[in-house]
C-alpha cells in the first residue's frame, strides 16, 4: 500500500530523517543513532518514507544507504506553489491595510 506523502511528512521524526538524509545518505543504523529510539522504530519510519518515494535505497555491499529524493519533493513543492501565490497576495493586502492604519494614527 502506497503511503500518503502528507501523512509521511506530518510526523516530526520522519521530517528529521529527511533533513539528515538531505545532507548525507545514511544507513538505518546510522539514523537510529541520531534518535532516542530503536533501529526497528526507525525502520518503520524509513518504510513510510520509502513507500512515498521521498527516499531511495541504494545497496552498497551489506549495507543499504538511503538517499533523499529531490524529484519527489519537487513534485510536492509544485503542488504547494499554487497556494503560495494566493498566500503572498493576501499577505501583501494585509501589509497594505496595516500601513494605511499606521499612517492614519500619525
Determine the average pLDDT of the residues in 67-84.
88
Mean pLDDT of the chain: 90
Nearest to 6 by CA among 87, 73, 85, 68: 73
Q: Are residues 44 and 25 in the same domain?
A: yes
pLDDT at 90 over 80: yes
Q: Are residues 91 and 55 in the same domain?
A: no
Q: Are residues 24 and 37 in the same domain?
A: yes
pLDDT, position 7: 87
- pLDDT tens digits, 5-57: 888 999 999 999 999 999 999 999 999 999 988 989 999 999 999 999 999 99
pLDDT, position 1: 56
Nearest to 54 by CA among 91, 104, 97, 11: 11
Its domain, for residue 81, covers 70-106
Amino acid at each position: 500500500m502506497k503511503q500518503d506523502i502528507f501523512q509521511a511528512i506530518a510526523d516530526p521524526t520522519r521530517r528529521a530523517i529527511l533533513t539528515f538524509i538531505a545532507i548525507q545518505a545514511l544507513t538505518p543504523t546510522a539514523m537510529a543513532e541520531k534518535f532516542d529510539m530503536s533501529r526497528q522504530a526507525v525502520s518503520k519510519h524509513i518504510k513510510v518514507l520509502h513507500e512515498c518515494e521521498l527516499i531511495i535505497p541504494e545497496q552498497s555491499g551489506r549495507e543499504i544507504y538511503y538517499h533523499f529524493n529531490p524529484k519527489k519533493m519537487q513534485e510536492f513543492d509544485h503542488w504547494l506553489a499554487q497556494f503560495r501565490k494566493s498566500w503572498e497576495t493576501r499577505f501583501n493586502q494585509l501589509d497594505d491595510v496595516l500601513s494605511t492604519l499606521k499612517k492614519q494614527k500619525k
